[in-house]
Structure 1
Amino acid sequence: MHALILNGLEQPLQLSETATPQPAPGEVQVHLRAAALNHRDVWIQKGQYAGVKFPIILGSDGAGIISAVGAGVDAQLLGREVLINPGQQWGNNPAAQGRSFTILGLPHNGTFAEYVCVSAASVHPKPTHLSFEQAAALPLGGVTAYRALFTRAGLQAGERVLINGVGGGVALLALQMAVAAGARVWVTSSSAEKIAKAVALGAEGGISYTAEKWPAQLTQQAGGAFDVLVDSAAGPGFNHLLDAAAPGGRLVFYGGTHGAIPQVPPAKIFWKQLSILGSTMGTEADFAQMVALVEHHRIVPAIDEILSLAEGEQALRRMDQGLQFGKIVLQIPG
């Protein structure tokens, strides 16, 4: 098969021929039709991710058709159109992932290839209203957004939501899911264009996080402070989110791209009775419920650009530069 292979630290992805994986007992082989990028792929290429090994086929997101099944797997699955849950072996505790938890694309070969083998429990029916490219844009970002909003923050209809740093796949899916659930959503970004695009997807407004005293301005714009705040940056801006939170608010974050959180005045948290919540990926139940939500509300993930598998290195560079609005997708020949 053809696959994009990363052979070393800071090396470009190489489109090469490699052995086609065969399903072990309990596994299915998926003939991939599309794969999507995540920042994780860039971090692995740069050596900024634990457990890096080479050679490796990157890619956590993928959608395709089941083309073979291993021993013990129902043969009726053959030919099914599916998307893949990239979270493997979550464990028995729904509150947090276990020590055996891994994400597709490292340490095991991922979806930047014509074929991949995964546990039969990891594949879910592709929502009927989505193309393969749209479905491939959903898994990692979708389950991360769903768990952050609903499992961790307990979002309810009518609540005000603030999504900090809109533009990436998780943030946009969180926006779309929150709107579908009946919440009122505002966003921040350093880009006026990204804020305008977020409004087109259902946000009620937004503000640049570079603006002076932006929490007060956005709170006035929204008619009140925010019940749920979603963040992936952390860093110095974290204090601003505490200022924007309503009493009893829940601040959930799933990343820390801006680094460590500086000293926080404790009264900002205890006097407002805030909840600070961490979230990572999601359980099999989270994933199934996310797919059901997307199907029911016919949510279509925002796609920035669709490129060919051979353009994988170009796609990584676009993501590294932070130019995208939505997911960058690789189309894989059928």
Structure 2
Amino acid sequence: MKAIRLHELGGPENLVYEDVPDPEPGSGEVVVKVRAAALNRRDVFVTRGMYPGAKPEALPATLGSDGSGEVVARGEGADGPDEGTEVVINPALYWGDDPAVPGKEYRILGLPDEGTFAQFVKVPGDHVLPKPSHLSHEEAAAVPLAGLTAYRALVTRGQVREGETVVVPGVGGGVATFLVQIASALGARVFVTSGDDEKIEAAKKLGAEGGVNYNAENWSKELKGMAGGVDLSVDSVGGPTFDALLSLAKPGGRIVSFGATAGPVEKLVLPKIFLKHLTVLGTAMGTAEEFGAMLDLYAERGLRPTINETFPLEEATAAMGLMEKGSGVGKIVLDVPA
């Protein structure tokens, strides 16, 4: 089969499109013929050695966490859909028995396990679920990692409720678009920030009520005037933005953090947390149950993810270049050849 492989660290330019043996399912495993895969920041970080476990001794490896396709083979005792079923892959492998935190065996598909940037991928049988029928394979491939992260952050950790005001800073690609879409579908008033006015307009099409450009000098005051007090912020930015979110929060509000693209919070004002009785929560990825609930929500509400651009599998390096530029809105997808 054809696959995108990383043989040495140093960046996306080191990816190679090559032939590798087809996977064979072991006990409890299935093989999925991949129709489409999607990129995540994780993939770029792996190529640069900036992700846990991304070391020379772990290579070569097939990257990719997100994928959609059909089950074509089942190992002995494998759970999940029958052969021929169109499926979506849950990339959060072996979470464990405690829904609060992942166990020691937990890992994400696409290093150390061979990932979805290939014509076939082998995964545990209980980690594939039927594809929502209204989604194309390209759309379904865009959902797993980002959709699961957004669902857990909003629903499980953030406990979002209908009518609440939610802020999503740094809207554009990846998880942020899913946060806007899911929060809006659950009846929240959603507001966003971005350094690009076009991304704010795109977020409005996904359900956001409004947004502000964070390049403005007093963007947080502008957002306060627009949204009022904030019940829940879901943040992947960190840095100075996090302190602004503390100021925007209502007394008793919640902030869920799942990233820090702007770096550490250098001037954390603790009285804003304890005097306002705020709850600050951390999160990342999610359980198999949350993955199923997230897919059910997309099926029941007819939700569709936003796709930024689609590339052929062999152009994965160019696709990662677009991701690093940060231009456009939504997920970047790879079409996998039959």
Aligned residue number for residue 328 of structure 1: 332
Matched, 1:73 2:60: no
Residue type of the alignment partner of 1:90: W
Which residues in structure 2 correspond to 1:220-239 (within 5 Å)?
220-222=225-227, 224-239=228-243
Q: Pick from 256, 260, 267: which aligns with 1:256?
A: 260
Give the conservation status (yes or no) of the 8 Å contact 2:80–2:128: no
Deviation at 1:248, TM superposition (A): 1.1
TM-score by length of 2: 0.96
Residue type of the alignment partner of 2:312: S
Q: Pick from 62, 83, 88: which aligns with 2:88?
A: 83
Q: Pick from 21, 24, 27: which aligns with 1:22?
A: 24
Give the conservation status (yes or no) of the 8 Å contact 1:143–1:286: yes
Give the conservation status (yes or no) of the 8 Å contact 1:169–1:302: no
Aligned partner of residue 286 in structure 1, secondary structure:
helix
Aligned partner of residue 250 in structure 1, secondary structure:
strand
Give the conservation status (yes or no) of the 8 Å contact 2:236–2:258: yes
Residue type of the alignment partner of 2:4: L
Give the conservation status (yes or no) of the 8 Å contact 1:227–1:250: yes
Using the alignment, how far apart are the partners of 1:269 and 1:314 within structure 2? 43
Deviation at 1:98, TM superposition (A): 1.2
Which residues in structure 2 correspond to 1:289-308 (within 5 Å)?
289-308=293-312
Residue type of the alignment partner of 1:3: A
Residue type of the alignment partner of 1:249: G
Using the alignment, how far apart are the partners of 2:211 and 2:323 within structure 1? 23
Deviation at 1:2, TM superposition (A): 0.2
Q: State the Cα deviation string for residues 178-226 of structure 1 (Å, max 9, x = none).
A: 111011101000000100111121111100112222222111112x111
Give the conservation status (yes or no) of the 8 Å contact 1:69–1:75: no
Matched, 1:142 2:147: yes
Using the alignment, how far apart are the partners of 2:199 and 2:41 within structure 1? 18
Aligned residue number for residue 218 of structure 1: 223
Using the alignment, how far apart are the partners of 1:234 and 1:100 within structure 2? 28
Q: What CA RMSD, in Å, does the superposition of the two structures yield over aligned residues?
A: 1.1
Q: State the Cα deviation string for residues 85-109 of structure 1 (Å, max 9, x = none).
A: 0000101111111121100001111
Matched, 1:201 2:206: yes
Which residues in structure 2 correspond to 1:145-156 (within 5 Å)?
145-156=150-161
Using the alignment, how far apart are the partners of 1:110 and 1:228 within structure 2? 34
Using the alignment, how far apart are the partners of 1:245 and 1:215 within structure 2? 11
Provide the identity percentage.
48
Residue type of the alignment partner of 1:6: L
Which residues in structure 2 correspond to 1:1-334 (within 5 Å)?
1-10=1-10, 11-52=13-54, 53-73=58-78, 77-222=82-227, 224-334=228-338
Aligned partner of residue 240 in structure 1, secondary structure:
helix
The farther-off stretch of 294-303 and 229-238 is 229-238
Unmatched segments (≥5 aa) in structure 1: none
Give the conservation status (yes or no) of the 8 Å contact 2:81–2:130: no
Aligned partner of residue 287 in structure 1, secondary structure:
helix
Give the conservation status (yes or no) of the 8 Å contact 2:88–2:131: yes
Deviation at 1:75, TM superposition (A): 9.3
Q: State the Cα deviation string for residues 4-47 of structure 1 (Å, max 9, x = none).
A: 01110115211100001110010000000000000000000011
TM-score by length of 1: 0.98
Deviation at 1:320, TM superposition (A): 1.2
Aligned partner of residue 8 in structure 1, secondary structure:
coil
Large movers: runs of 4+ above 6 Å: none
Using the alignment, how far apart are the partners of 1:107 and 1:321 within structure 2? 26
Q: State the Cα deviation string for residues 253-312 of structure 1 (Å, max 9, x = none).
A: 111111112131211011111111100000111101101111111110000001100111
Using the alignment, how far apart are the partners of 1:299 and 1:75 within structure 2? 24
Residue type of the alignment partner of 1:39: R
The farther-off stretch of 207-216 and 125-134 is 207-216
Unmatched segments (≥5 aa) in structure 2: none
Using the alignment, how far apart are the partners of 1:256 and 1:310 within structure 2? 31
Deviation at 1:323, TM superposition (A): 1.5
Aligned partner of residue 305 in structure 1, secondary structure:
strand
Aligned partner of residue 66 in structure 1, secondary structure:
strand
The farther-off stretch of 148-157 and 193-202 is 193-202
